[in-house]
Every structure is written in structure tokens, then in C-alpha cells.
Amino acid sequence: MRILRLYAPSLIGDHTLCYVHNNDAGETCINEVPITIRLTHCGEPLDDETARNSMNIVLPVDAAPNDGDFMSLEDDGGVLRWSEPEKRFTVASRGFLSVSGHVEFWRPIKAAILTVSDKGSKGEREDTAGPELAALSIDRGIDIMENKIVPDDKDDIAAAITEWCGKGYNLVLTTGGTGLSERDVTPEALLSIADKVVPGFGEMMRIETLCYTPRAFLTRGVAVIKGKTLVIAFPGSRRAARECFEAVAPGLRHGVETLAGWEGECGRG
């Protein structure tokens, strides 16, 4: 699905390209000017007061997002979010809107993040990898519903993940405990509760991050399925968690949608 027109009478009128972002006050902006961003279908009038004071993203008539859906600006990587009650978009991730730019609507993925760290669980070390994964997740249309820090204990890790799977979360991301030390037991915890193993995630992490460090093959990142939940174990450092997430991100949404039975909704308009 492509954007047919970008029309904002209060901002000159028609635009071919514009920057969408939040300002320091959290307001939705186009080219640094606070403005409401709304969805308009092709053929709808654009001369009422609401249209005149908004940036109107004109889409085909079959564009039908549900409340809370994300709209991916695929050509640029930005993400907007639709509010059905307010009939407007908010900015989840800044980017560029362009006429003829390709967009997709994404159903939100409900997720949780588990940080595994002895020191972190005692408040002796700041968790940087968990927040990093949360920040990266928004670009993939992932809602982080919960986060938690547990020590490097196999039973504690397994219990937290099992609880979240029971709540029906689509995705659980863990960070930490994937190394070679005696206390690194996150992969073993995941495997102990797994219904299935998905080896490709760990393989891609190791393959793709070799360009950053020749020791990438030492990480024991794994992914498993428990019920309808995909669980992925990432390294514990902020940088390594980011690099590994980026390695698997291209296939992450498709994997979750397939597991959840949403295949028919992929890229829906």
C-alpha cells in the first residue's frame, strides 16, 4: 500500500516529503511544527476544519487500521501508531513520510523483557541491555508489557518466562546469561521449558555479529517456542544485545505472526 497524497493546508499544502517526529514536549510534529496527523481515504473531502488543521495522509479506500495498530513507513523505517478513538496517528519512531512511499499496518506484538543478572537483581548494576531491547522493539511494532530482572538462576528464569507465556504474550526477550561462565544458564532455562527449538535465531546472531567481533561464535543465544510464545535469548551487554537484535529483526515479526496464526493479516491495509 502506498501513500497517495500528503496534504496539510496549514503547512503550505501538498508535500512530497516531510519529517515526522516528536518534539521535546512529546507533541507530534511535521518538520518541527506541532500538528495532528490523520488518516484520510482517497476520495474523502479535505476542505473541513479538521482537514485544514491537520497533516492528511491519504491512503487507498481499503486502508483500515484497528485501534493501536502500527503503521510502518517501510521506505524509511519510521513507525506511526493509530488511535481509533482520537482518529489520529502518534509517532512511535521518527522518520519520513513521502508520496508514493510504501506503508504497512502491523498488529501490535505483546512482549516482555527479562534481564538475567546476579548483580542487576541486587541493584548493584544498572540494566542497560533491557532498555536497549525495549527501544529497538518499537520499530518492529512490539509493545513491551512487562519487564523484570532475575538472578542467574535456571529456576527463576524458567518461572518468569513460564508466567509470561501463560499470560498470552507473543514474545519474550531475555538478555544476559548466554556466555560460558558457570553462572550463565539462560539457554538451559529456555530449553528446559521449550516445546520447540528455533535454531535460526541463534545462528543469525552469531553469523551477522562476526563483523563486529571475531568472538561472536562464543555467544550461546537461542530461541524456543513455548505454547504460542516465541522466546529469544540475547547477550547481556547493551551493544551485543543491539547487534544481535538487529541481526534477527528482519524475520522477527513474520515468525511471531506465523506462530500466532496472523499470517493472513501480514501487511494488511
pLDDT (tens digit per residue) in 239-256: 999 999 999 999 999 999
d(CA 214, CA 181): 19
Distance, in Å, from the CA atom of 195 to the CA atom of 174, rounded to the nearest integer, reads: 17
**3-class DSSP assignment, residue 15:** strand
- What is the model's pLDDT at position 10? 86
108 residue type, one letter: P
Of 185, 16, 214, 167, which is closest to residue 116 (Cα–Cα)? 185
Model pLDDT for residues 64-122, shown as the tens digit of each residue? 999 999 999 976 678 999 999 999 999 999 999 999 999 999 999 999 999 999 999 99
Q: In the predicted model, what is the mean pLDDT of residues 200-229? A: 95
| Nearest C-alpha neighbor of 21 from the set 11, 10, 35, 8 | 35
| Cα separation, 70 vs 108, whole angstroms | 7
Residue 148 burial (C-beta neighbours within 10 Å; 0-12, 13-18, 19+): middle
> Measured between alpha carbons, how far is 158 from 131 in angstroms, rounded to an integer?
21
Q: How far is CA 191 from the centre of its chain?
A: 24
Summarised one tens digit per residue, pLDDT across range 139-180 is 899 999 999 999 999 999 999 999 999 999 999 999 999 999
More confident residue, 267 or 5: 5
Strand 171-175 and strand 229-234: the pairing is parallel
* Contacts of residue 42, Cβ cutoff 8 Å, sequence gap at least 6: 4, 58, 59, 60, 61
pLDDT of 206 > 90? The answer is yes
DSSP state letter for 236: S
Would the pLDDT of 181 be above 80? yes
Q: Is the dihedral of CA 93, 67, 251, 96 positive or negative?
A: negative
Name the band, by pLDDT with cuts 50, 70 and 90, for residue 15. very high
CA separation for the pair 106, 127 (Å, rounded): 29
